[in-house]
Structure 1
């Protein structure tokens, strides 16, 4: 089984690419993303699933695809129609983590999470720091653990990245991010 690309998916991919370039790379939220962007090794999979079971099946299919194709270094599973409720999305994330383990991908892939309403534990919905993980659509980011381990071994102070991102987010301010995400379809 594979995810089928539909012409209706292209606008979702385009919006995601703009966000990735402008916010994630542009603000250096992920100092490792630019290399993958330039090398064109990022996979973009639009999933129209609105229920957890097919979404998990599609995620595992993409992991299988990545396991057999080293040309895809990292992949974004973009949920264009489902999981707009953050709590429902967190349920998907929790189950996805478990299914990765059950499918034998523990130590091979890890997930990072992005959502339009992302809210870190201990913060309020209005706190600007949440924008470090807010995206135009709900997404699960599939990361090759071996590649991440290599890059982290040579990156100075990787544990500082989240704190640096929060400083950048505070500097930009809530209005900047709200305006950017509000205009995602431009």
Structure 2
């Protein structure tokens, strides 16, 4: 009789080389898209000062990912913001379907509340197939949240507040992003060496 634990988790663990490739591709996306296109005006200083923690998850089930997310939220809350201001939890082997990923975000937000970190930390979301409500799947506006792999971004509320204090109109960020992406177009996105659907 086969061991149920083995049949439950048939995927082999990611190798160190695979983990490093995933981390590098995510960093390339951050540098070329998020910072390079100024999609998030707050990202550059965190990246330049090396205060962003990259975590590549081995999770193959949403339950395992939720446990790992809990560990990372607690670790970020304990960390000195001058050393680790924010973190990305990259999970290439689970929630690869965007609708499943989108459903999971409710559990992620509930977890923040369960850990009594509401108002202290929040979770932002990025996915290779990210799609805003009311848009076509290939609409260029979706690319503002398209990452190489499914990714949960753990943020400190205090960091967001500090960053937005200097901005008169935070809605202008979204509007500027849409204008940037419309001008760039899909071919421009690919020209940056970034993955695109199709």
How large is the Cα RMSD of the aligned pairs? Answer: 1.6
Give the Cα–Cα distance (whole angstroms) in 2 for the partners of residues 182 and 36 of structure 1: 24
Matched, 1:128 2:134: no
Task: Say which of 71, 89, 104 aligns to 2:116.
Answer: 104
Partner of 1:44: 54
Structure 2: gaps of 5 or more residues:
1-13
Query: How far apart in 2 are the matches of 1:49 and 1:90?
Result: 17
Look up the match of 1:22.
32
List per-residue Cα deviations over 1:125-151 (Å, max 9, x = no partner): 011100010010000100000111111
Runs of 5+ consecutive residues of structure 1 not aligned to the other structure: none
State the distance in 1 between where 2:60 and 2:105 align. 14
User: How has the CA–CA distance of structure 1 residues 178 and 119 changed in structure 2, closer, same or farther, with 3 Å as cutoff?
Assistant: farther
Which residue is 1:140 aligned to? Answer: 152
Give the TM-score taking structure 2 as reference length: 0.86
Aligned length: 179
CA radius of gyration, larger in: 2
| Distance in 2, Cα, partners of 1:61 & 1:14 | 23
CA distance, structure 2, for counterparts of residue 82 and residue 162 of structure 1: 28
8 Å contact kept, 1:93–1:140: no
Match of 2:4 in 1: none
Q: Indicate how the Cα distance of structure 1 residues 50 and 91 shifts in structure 2: closer, same or farther if over 3 A, else same.
A: farther
1:57 to 2:67 alignment: yes
Q: How far is the alpha carbon of 1:80 from its aligned partner?
A: 1.6
Structure 1 length normalisation: TM-score? 0.91
Runs of 4+ in structure 1 off by over 4 angstroms are none
Aligned-residue offset at 1:178: 4.5
